[in-house]
Amino acid sequence: MTRSAPPSSARTRTGNFFEDFRLGARIVHPTPRTLTDGDCALYIALTGARNPVHCAAPVARAMGYRDRTVDDLLAFHVAFGKTVPDVSLNAVANLGYADLRFLAPCYPGDTIRAESEVIGLRENSNRRSGVVYVRSDAYNQRGEPVLTWARWVMVHKRDPESPAPATVVPSLPELVPAAALTVTAPNPAALVPAITGSTDCWDDYAPGERIDHPSGVTLEEADHMLATRLYQNTARVHFDALAMRQSSFGRRLVYGGHVISLCRALSYDGLENAYAIGAINGGSHTNPTFAGDTLYAITEVRDRWSLPGRTDVGALRLRLIGLKNLAPAELASPTAPDGKPHPNVVLDLDYTVFMPRKSRQ
């Protein structure tokens, strides 16, 4: 006999359906997570990340951090993973995210928890699903906000007959402006070229230029599942090969966040001094990624911003393109002639990084 659980726990077990979301409702996501040196080591092993701010404690301390910091994306994936059981377990599709801001560094030993607020609802005309907009916030053990982001997902209805809520579509910024970025390092100038391997700094990157990052990495089922479990993301599309045989994909999907991490790590060669992510403005997972695919990365510099009151550090708005099974040099444009994303492009990410300025040297 299948357990008929009381309502409140049934929610945890089956996830929320469209009609379970109420505008303005605040969801406290369960299972806080302490991030440790163990998680940081695994993140390096899983992604190949080499940013010294996360790998080398003396470097981080010289920059004014208390200790080396947890990789921005590791902290994000863990915080994001917390929201999955409540927000997107019944998602038809993850439609987008916006206004992701990194507000404070996360250190080994910190404990992350997440909350979300429903900020928009729009039932689909077929009445079988709807779009849910949430604003999610992650906090450390002192209650300080470390991350915030908005995302919208298409979620199944449990019962197509249940009444539609009033349509509310929130206004979300196209990008996080320079004035809204939080520079966390007191002294980015300590990140000298001998440490990162590159003399290129903020001043050297010009809007419009494209960097074809030289390395590629082939994914395996074991490593994407290890990563996604580390992030405690329970979306079953990543783990259950038997169930996925029934899906249109026919097999397990790689968690899109892990694809971002791999592409960010690949982009180290050419962006060595991009020591922290300030914001993710938006992004799309334009095609699915599977085990066996080989990933490559291209960066386009979109913009170069000075930061209020800072002459030692600036921001670069970048476009990170992840492509599979095609060397960067062979990709003329991430958009196919028909206007759709190129079939080998799996990621199109708009994000902003911090980089020391020449004055530092």
Residue 166 to residue 132: CA distance in whole angstroms: 12
> What tokens were used for 4?
């008929």
User: Cα separation of 210 and 217, whole Å?
Assistant: 20
Measure Cα distances from 149 to 32, 118, 156, 215, 342 in Å: 18, 12, 22, 30, 27
* Among positions 164, 170, 172, 204, the unique one binding a copy of itself when judged by CB under 8 A: 204
State which of residues 23, 124, 148, 270 lies at the interface with a copy of itself (CB under 8 A): 270
Nearest in space to 353 (alpha carbons), one of 298, 313, 312: 313
CB 238 within 8 A of CB 309: no
Question: For residues 38 and 186, which CB has a smaller minimum distance to a copy of itself in the complex?
Answer: 38
Measured at the CA of 219, the angle between CA 41 and CA 53, to 5 degrees, comes to 30
Piece in contact with a copy of itself (CB under 8 A), picked from 99-107, 174-182, 212-220, 337-345 = 212-220
What CA–CA distance (Å, rounded) separates 98 from 90?
21
Applying the rule CB under 8 A, the residues between 245 and 264 that interact with a copy of itself are 252
Choose, by CB under 8 A, the member of 20, 52, 259, 267 that binds a copy of itself: 52
Compare residues 44 and 92 and give the one whose CB is closer to a copy of itself.
44
Stretch of residues binding a copy of itself (CB under 8 A), selected from 22-30, 152-160, 275-283, 345-353: 22-30
Which runs of E-coded beta strand occur in 175-293?
210-212, 217-218, 276-284
Of these, 223, 312, 348, 350, which contacts a copy of itself (CB under 8 A)?
223
Binding of residue 196 to a copy of itself (CB under 8 A): yes
Stretch that binds a copy of itself, among 98-106, 160-168, 176-184, 209-217 (CB under 8 A): 209-217
Exposed, middle or buried, 2 (CB in 10 Å: 0-12/13-18/19+)?
exposed
Q: Which of 25, 45, 168, 180 binds a copy of itself (CB under 8 A)?
A: 45
Question: Which one of 25, 168, 169, 327 is in contact with a copy of itself (CB under 8 A)?
Answer: 327
Is 210 a binder of a copy of itself (CB under 8 A)? yes
150 binds a copy of itself (CB under 8 A): no
262: part of which helix (H) or strand (E)? helix 256-266
Interacting stretch for a copy of itself, rule CB under 8 A, among 34-42, 118-126, 309-317, 342-350? 34-42
Q: Is 230 in the site for a copy of itself (CB under 8 A)?
A: yes
